[in-house]
């Protein structure tokens, strides 16, 4: 079969590899589509894992072979849900639901979860950029049937939607709360819609105008182009006339004026940072009200060793300077966390227990992911798909790779 094999930094090659052999209680799935995900892009562009591997984990396709039952009753029961020809969406990580981390709902930290259960060959890495993948028994609970009226593309979006719903659930919001979503790429737009469905009023920001237009469609109440401050509906003159316009503003930007308006001067209830920008975090810390929350979703790249430093000033005083502590790229007054009770949160990866709810949201089209998909590339052009997804253009959103040539 054809597969896109990763051989090192930015080195993806279309090669012929054996169709994966499946064992007992395993599935062989013919891949239809696979989403290009930022976490794979990061591995490809920074070489964070050793080659060779076949990436791609937002996979949907058709079951073409089912491994013979075997003795394990739970696994056989799971397997009996499926038949050859079923159209399915896959999850390459599934937690054990039983360990210390799982009992604390920190599923992404579970050892079982960290194992990758889908492969097209080599060290398991998702395998979606190939014609066939092998689905191992421990990720069978993550196989979701795609309803007849829904497409493979919609199935492939379950995994990213899950990661976003998990993050939304980390926020403690009341109906009517005002939430900033910084960045309206595919992930930011999912946040905008899921937050709106949760009753929040969303302020959407981005640099690209087409994305802001889409943000309105996805339920944003206010859109703000952070690159073109002049486009803000509330202008400086209007603001000066407003009752608190003469107050001194700690953050004299148009964004802060809009937020002051939207929240009656209180500040944001929460801010979701869906762009890997430290400046956005710094600004959010100022814009969020006391007791509010800032959720980081795109800060997935660890600082390079060169940016690690002894910022604590511990040298010469006999203190051990933790070399693994990266320096912040902006001054952070920790009193904003302690005294002002602003929570700095992160969320990463998916929550298995939300899987049914995510499937309902996507397949009912309450969250219509079809509007998030802008480009399809054939398997042979996976490298170009990765390039486009890593350097979005005004008209690009979610990029998918189609293994079946359709």
Whether the CB-CB separation of 144 and 88 falls below 8 Å is answered with yes
The three-class DSSP label of residue 344 is strand
User: Helix/strand/coil (H, E, C) string of 131-198?
Assistant: CEEEECHHHHHHCEECCCCCCHHHHHCHHHHHHHHHHHHCCCCCCCCEEEEECCCHHHHHHHHHHHHC
Contact between 106 and Zn ion (CB under 5 A)?
no
C-alpha pair distances (Å), 212 with each of 117, 196, 202, 219, 302: 37, 15, 12, 11, 29
- Of 39 and 282, which CB lies nearer to Zn ion in the complex structure? 39
> For tokens 């014609």, what's the residue?
131
CB of 339 to Zn ion, least distance (A): 36
Token pair of 182, please?
């910084």
Token pair of 290, please?
């006391």
First-residue to last-residue Cα distance in the chain: 16
Question: Among the residues of 64-151, which ranges form H helices?
Answer: 73-79, 100-103, 111-114
- Of 103 and 360, which CB lies nearer to Zn ion in the complex structure? 103
- Of 95 and 117, which CB lies nearer to Zn ion in the complex structure? 95
Among 1, 24, 78, 96, binds Zn ion (CB under 5 A): 96
User: Which region, judged by CB under 5 A, interacts with Zn ion, from 16-24, 109-117, 282-290, 352-360?
Assistant: 109-117
Among 20, 61, 95, 183, binds Zn ion (CB under 5 A): 95
Contact between 385 and Zn ion (CB under 5 A)?
no
User: Which region, judged by CB under 5 A, interacts with Zn ion, from 36-44, 245-253, 281-289, 379-387?
Assistant: 36-44
CB of 379 to Zn ion, least distance (A): 18
Contact between 37 and Zn ion (CB under 5 A)?
yes
CB of 401 to Zn ion, least distance (A): 13
- Of 40 and 257, which CB lies nearer to Zn ion in the complex structure? 40
CB of 109 to Zn ion, least distance (A): 8
- Of 342 and 398, which CB lies nearer to Zn ion in the complex structure? 398
User: Which region, judged by CB under 5 A, interacts with Zn ion, from 98-106, 119-127, 285-293, 300-308?
Assistant: 98-106
One DSSP character per residue, 31-54 reads EEEEE--HHHHHHHHHT-SPSPB-
**Distance in angstroms (rounded) separating the CA atoms of residues 181 and 56:** 27
- Of 67 and 95, which CB lies nearer to Zn ion in the complex structure? 95
User: Which region, judged by CB under 5 A, interacts with Zn ion, from 96-104, 208-216, 246-254, 303-311?
Assistant: 96-104
N residues, the chain: 406
Contact between 182 and Zn ion (CB under 5 A)?
no
Contact between 168 and Zn ion (CB under 5 A)?
no
- Of 90 and 208, which CB lies nearer to Zn ion in the complex structure? 90
Contact between 125 and Zn ion (CB under 5 A)?
no
- Quick one: which of 128, 33, 29 has its CA closest to 375? 33
- Of 37 and 180, which CB lies nearer to Zn ion in the complex structure? 37
- Of 1 and 96, which CB lies nearer to Zn ion in the complex structure? 96
Among 78, 99, 234, 321, binds Zn ion (CB under 5 A): 99
Contact between 141 and Zn ion (CB under 5 A)?
no
Residue 107 phi/psi, 5-degree rounding, is: -60, -35
CA 230 to chain CA centroid, Å, is 30
CB of 346 to Zn ion, least distance (A): 16
Contact between 171 and Zn ion (CB under 5 A)?
no
CA triple 93-95-96, angle to 5 deg = 140
User: Which region, judged by CB under 5 A, interacts with Zn ion, from 16-24, 34-42, 76-84, 314-322?
Assistant: 34-42
CB of 400 to Zn ion, least distance (A): 12
Contact between 110 and Zn ion (CB under 5 A)?
yes
Token pair of 296, please?
């980081």
- Quick one: which of 218, 211, 202 has its CA closest to 262? 202
CB of 117 to Zn ion, least distance (A): 14
Residue 308 phi/psi, 5-degree rounding, is: -80, 135
Sites of contact with Zn ion (CB under 5 A) = 37, 95-96, 99, 102, 110
């Amino acid at each position: 079969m054809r597969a896109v094999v990763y051989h090192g930094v930015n080195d993806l090659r279309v090669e012929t590899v054996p169709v994966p052999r499946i064992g007992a209680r395993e599935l062989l799935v013919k891949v239809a589509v696979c989403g290009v995900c930022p976490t794979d892009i990061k591995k490809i562009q920074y070489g964070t894992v050793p080659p060779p591997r076949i990436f791609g984990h937002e996979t949907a396709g058709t079951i073409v072979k089912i491994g013979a039952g075997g003795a394990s009753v739970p696994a056989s029961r799971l397997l009996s849900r499926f038949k050859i020809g079923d159209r399915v969406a896959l999850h390459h990580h599934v937690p054990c639901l039983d360990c210390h981390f799982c009992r604390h709902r920190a599923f992404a930290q579970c050892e079982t979860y960290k194992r990758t259960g889908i492969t097209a060959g080599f060290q398991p890495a998702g395998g979606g950029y190939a014609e066939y993948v092998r689905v191992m028994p421990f990720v069978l609970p993550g196989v979701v049937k795609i309803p007849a009226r829904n497409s493979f593309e919609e199935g492939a979006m379950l995994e990213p939607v899950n990661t976003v719903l998990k993050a939304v659930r980390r926020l403690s919001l009341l109906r009517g709360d005002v939430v900033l979503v910084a960045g309206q790429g595919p992930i930011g737009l999912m946040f905008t819609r899921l937050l709106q469905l949760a009753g929040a009023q969303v302020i959407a920001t981005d640099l690209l105008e087409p994305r802001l237009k889409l943000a309105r469609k996805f339920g944003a109440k206010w859109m703000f182009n952070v690159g073109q401050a002049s486009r803000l509906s509330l202008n400086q003159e209007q603001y000066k006339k407003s009752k608190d316009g003469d107050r001194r503003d700690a953050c004299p930007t148009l964004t802060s004026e809009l937020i002051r308006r939207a929240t009656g001067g209180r500040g944001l209830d929460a801010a979701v940072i869906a762009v890997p920008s430290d400046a956005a975090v710094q600004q959010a810390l100022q814009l969020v009200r006391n007791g509010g929350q800032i959720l980081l979703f795109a800060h997935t790249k660890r600082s390079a060793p060169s940016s690690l430093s002894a910022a604590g000033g511990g040298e010469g005083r006999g203190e051990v300077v933790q070399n693994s502590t990266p320096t912040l790229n902006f001054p952070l007054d920790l009193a904003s966390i302690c005294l002002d009770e602003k929570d700095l949160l992160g969320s990463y990866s998916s929550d298995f227990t939300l899987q049914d709810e995510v499937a309902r949201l996507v397949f009912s089209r309450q969250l219509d992911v079809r509007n998030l998909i802008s480009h399809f590339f054939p398997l042979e052009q996976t490298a170009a798909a990765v390039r486009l997804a890593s350097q979005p253009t005004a008209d690009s959103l979610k990029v998918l790779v189609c293994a079946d040539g359709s």
